[in-house]
Amino acid sequence: MLKKINFLFVTMFGIGKLPRIPGSFASLATVILLYILFHIFSVSANTFLFFLVAIFIISLFAVNLFIKDLSNKDPKEVVIDEFIGQSIPVCLYEIAHSESIDPSRILTFYFIMFILFRIFDITKPYPVSYYDKNFKNSFGVIMDDVCAGLYVVAILVFYMIITS
């Protein structure tokens, strides 16, 4: 039973088992879920940030449990790391823009964050590649996506400085 729950957690309820681009589908599902949470259910981004930290900590143990008997220590079906990495820029964007904004502007930024995150997660510029290559455990699986998410944050901050 615990193994099944862990499988559902690390694969985001089976998204990771999709035959093609499961990481991109997991990132897209994350963006859609966060838009619904923040803009339909009015969940506070600050509250979600605490939830995200808890997911990060739980993921360290859950991913470790999932990969312990596998030869591939970063299997494609593990996509909870995409949830964490994609959530970072979206959540921080929502914290920075707590006042109500035009929905089309929000959706545009969500789309940009999705595309940028996927680019950084796939191309793995340093230090994303460092964690991916040097940590063959749950820490490496998760931290490369955290770094990719922080790259997106850096790009958005740079854009906001230039345009203000």
State residue 127's pLDDT score.
87
Assigned domain for 12 exists: no
Whole-prediction pTM value? 0.94
Assigned domain for 7 exists: no
State residue 20's pLDDT score.
95
The answer, yes or no, to whether the previous bond of 127 is cis (omega within 30 of 0) is yes
Domain span including residue 115: 21-163
State residue 70's pLDDT score.
85
State residue 61's pLDDT score.
97
Domain count, the chain: 1
Assigned domain for 34 exists: yes
State residue 73's pLDDT score.
77
Assigned domain for 130 exists: yes
Q: Is the dihedral of CA 108, 34, 47, 118 positive or negative?
A: negative
State residue 21's pLDDT score.
97
Assigned domain for 43 exists: yes
**Contact in structure between 23 and 76 (CB atoms under 8 Å):** yes
CB atoms within 10 A of CB 102: 8
Assigned domain for 58 exists: yes
Task: Report DSSP letters for 43-54, one per residue.
Answer: --HHHHHHHHHH
Task: Identify the segments of the chain with pLDDT beneath 50.
Answer: none
Assigned domain for 6 exists: no
Assigned domain for 154 exists: yes
